[in-house]
Amino acid sequence: MSLPRYLVTGASGQLGRLVVAALAARAGASKVTAVVRDPARSASLFPDGVTLRQGDYEQPATLDAAFAGAEHLLLISSNALGSRVQQHRNAIDAAKRAGVKRIAYTSVLHADVSKLGLAEEHRQTEALLEASGLPFTLLRNGWYTENYTASIPAALQHGAVIGSAGPGLISSAARRDYAEAAAVALIEDTGSRTVHELAGDASYTLAEFAAELSRQSGKPISYVNLPEAEYRAALIGAGLPEPLAALLADSDAAAAQGALWDDSRTLSRLIGRPTAPLSATIAEALRA
């Protein structure tokens, strides 16, 4: 039996499981490997026929076994803020040892010039890929619309969306759109260095987000713009860990300066269809 051709790390996460499904649909499940920390607990997440392997960014020896035989690797960025660069280094080094032919990496929109605080670890990882000598694809993902729809329950409870993005335009897309783009790029990209700046077709402000939520829910929802420090404090008060609250507040403040805006429509061209509109993702969140 031939070895699976496409391998996805961090496959049990919200993005990873969607990428695995998209790859299985396009290339066939037998050609896809999902790398997870606990295969026994993750098997139900994936289509029948997908191979599961155990692998942990923090344990390089597990990556050697997980990556064996793979030709194309999607390195989904770790969510361990502050530790991601070393974890990604471990994965890139293991990919080289395993003879992987190409790595695709989920970076952030305009990482090379971005004002987002979270962009620095992505820039460092991109530099590691440059230095690896391997052909690679940078999937510079814009914001997931779900980053904002996750706050809908609180917005409905309090009658307000809060943030620090001011009039900044946000070109987000649904997580499923980015997952499909990753699958397409992993299968089709051939150049030694390919960069995709990925974002939604349409842009909106958080005030417009609040207005659309109000329209669909039938409840009055306003947008309250806060200074970054106040927004961070509000998130901490709502129970978010301080590092995550700081990241979200910083991201909103950068969005006010255009860090989450892009009008290239590269994402929709890559997936061959329009990206999911804001209204559709809000409707899905309200149904859930």
- The arithmetic mean of pLDDT across residues 111-140, rounded, is 97
DSSP letter string over 85-97? HHHHHHHHHHHHH
Q: What is the CATH number of the domain that holds 135?
A: 3.40.50.720
Q: How far apart (Å, rounded) are the C-alpha atoms in residues 101 and 80?
A: 26
Task: Say what the pTM is.
Answer: 0.95
Identify the weakest region by mean pLDDT among 2-6, 188-192, 234-238, 239-243: 2-6
**Model pLDDT, residue 3:** 58
In a domain, 159, yes or no: no
**Model pLDDT, residue 120:** 96
In a domain, 88, yes or no: yes
Residue 81's pLDDT band, with cuts at 50, 70 and 90, is: confident
In a domain, 123, yes or no: yes
Report pLDDT digits (tens) over 269-283.
Answer: 999 999 999 999 999
- The arithmetic mean of pLDDT across residues 143-155, rounded, is 95
In a domain, 35, yes or no: yes
What total number of domains does the chain contain? 1
Q: Answer yes or no: is pLDDT of 222 > 90.
A: yes
In a domain, 58, yes or no: yes
Report pLDDT digits (tens) over 31-54.
Answer: 999 999 999 999 899 999 999 999
In a domain, 83, yes or no: yes
Residue 28's pLDDT band, with cuts at 50, 70 and 90, is: very high
Mean pLDDT of the chain: 95
Measured N-to-C along each axis, helices 242-255 and 228-237 cross at an angle, to the nearest 10 degrees, of 150
Identify the weakest region by mean pLDDT among 78-82, 105-109, 230-234: 78-82
**Model pLDDT, residue 1:** 42
**Model pLDDT, residue 82:** 86
- The arithmetic mean of pLDDT across residues 174-180, rounded, is 98
Tokens 């392997």 belong to: 53
Domain that holds residue 65: 6-142+173-198+263-273
In a domain, 128, yes or no: yes
In a domain, 255, yes or no: no
Q: How far apart (Å, rounded) are the C-alpha atoms in residues 286 and 162?
A: 18
